[in-house]
A and B are shown apart, each in its own frame.
Chain A
Amino acid sequence: MNLPSEHVLQLRHTAAQAIRSFFYTRKFWEVDTPVRLPAPAPELHIVAEPAGAQYLRTSPELHMKRMLTAGAHDIFQLGPCFRAQEYGSRHRPEFMMLEWYRRDADYMIILQDMQDLISHVIDTVSSQTGLSPHFDPSNPWEIHTIQDIYLERAGWDPVSNFDPDRFDLDMVNIIEPSLPPGHCSILMDYPSPVAALARRKPDNPLVAERWELYAGGLELANAFSELTDPVEQRERFEKAVEEKRMRGEAVYPLDEAFLAVLEDDGLPPCAGVALGFDRLLMALTGVEDIACVLPFPH
């Protein structure tokens, strides 16, 4: 079969249209940012694909933040991202990412966008394609802090005593499989060593203002109250580069243009969400393999 399935094309079109109409209605600007970058954000465990002397973007995050600094208010982008070596039933090295940022918001405010967006996409897709959605976003969303869910289900506290290997293994072996099918769950307040680009909680610096959305046990989206402090941002980048170097991963130059914008012009307070578009389609249709929702699966 070298031809894409018509159902998949219709599903993708309808979901993309629903996403765009959702953001247009809320006066978000649709933006586009470079796909080829000289300096992708250094994140541990995320490997950028080289493209000539540059790299394919692993996320549009840093350029979208520069747009906020330039005066854009609320912005979104739906486009391809690339992460080397990621291939499995929930992963492709090239995938579609929806990313949006809201000014003067934090991670709890932007959670409302997330809930409204999921409902809107499900309503649109089910009314236009006749698909009966595999989960119901009007079921109450389960909201857990990382500390509580690990204490309850894995028997230890990753916030007071972080162990990166145990954290990841327990996440895939214990926590994710325990999330109820058919429901949306939010895991929030991640230990600060896995804050990534999230700001730390003002009243508890051991945790970062970050949440992840799950549909059943399938991870769909990641959100932050964005880190705006230029000094802490540079320190985290340098630390991530150092850790990547120690693990034998490729390292790239720091995005000095982004850091200069943070230092000189300042990033306004904002929150952002990155949502895997293909994963969202997996959740809607209830399929176990990402290949089932891709026009060209391999």
Chain B
Amino acid sequence: MADTVKLPEDSFKPMTPAERQALDSEKIAAPSLTFRQDAWRRLKKNKGAWVSLIVLGIIFIMAFGSLVVSPHNPNAVNPSYANLPSKIPGVGINGFNGTLVQAGQRVDAYKQAGASAGTYYIMGTDYLGRDLFSRVLYGTRISLIIALVATLFDLTIGVTYGMISGWKGGRVDTIMQRIIEIILSIPNLVVIVLLILILKPGMTSIIIAIALTSWVNMARLVRAQTLELKEQEFILAARTLGESSMKISFKHLLPNLSSVIIINTMFTIPNAIFFEATLSYIGIGISSPQASLGTLLNDGQKNFQFLPYQMWWPALILSIIMLAFNLLGDGLRDAFDPRTKE
């Protein structure tokens, strides 16, 4: 049979450069992408998530940048400039030009307070004459720090717990799941409040309280995913080769869990911000002169009827942050798991 195959002589000639180019232009394969690159591309296509990412970036830079440059000292009290409305240079719209309605007439509050023509408070001032813009930046920073640190702890606890529970299985898993069920049957806020009572109100205790209560969701998701991964061949291979459980969990499980973890983190952060705001709003969170978005809302709400801007600004920023994290979380979920979107 072998002698029947006759290849023409010219099959063995090297290609001319022109021929080679013609072949290359026929190529239609895209450069191969890793899973993460692929997800990143999908994320960039999602307008809502992309805008959220930029907005969050700006908020982060402004909140933490205000440590270095802040328009005013957020704690500097100036009673003569108390309760000044918002005034933005060059903007003539009522509500942003430093005027207020008093007894049915619109008056220039800045003139009344005897402020010089060059005095501007972008978001106005609060009842002690503190610059609201600086306070909001400061409050945002505290809220973000609390949320991020709490999320970091909650991530560590949740991922470890979920991985152990899923990996060990059997009785360990049953007991660990029972514990989770018990925690889930007490409303989160009640537990947080009890913990704060014990730890004394303050930033650290809020962080601990939020972290100790919100890991449950993460643990459940990670456990479910671990149970699935555990049965797969590459884990079996690693076990057969004699890798320790510790090494398998770091080298094989964790990278495969990363998308679940990242997505859930994006929903944990706004939750933590929300809990912090609620606690400070009730009056057992951050105490003055420290400020968070919750305390600012609480302060603003007292005067809402007459000075609505004092609540509008923190409410706006809080809602924008929550919105951005939620949209980003949605976007990440679609990016990591394209099946969820048709």
A and B interact: no
Residue ranges of B at the interface with A (Cβ–Cβ < 8 Å): none
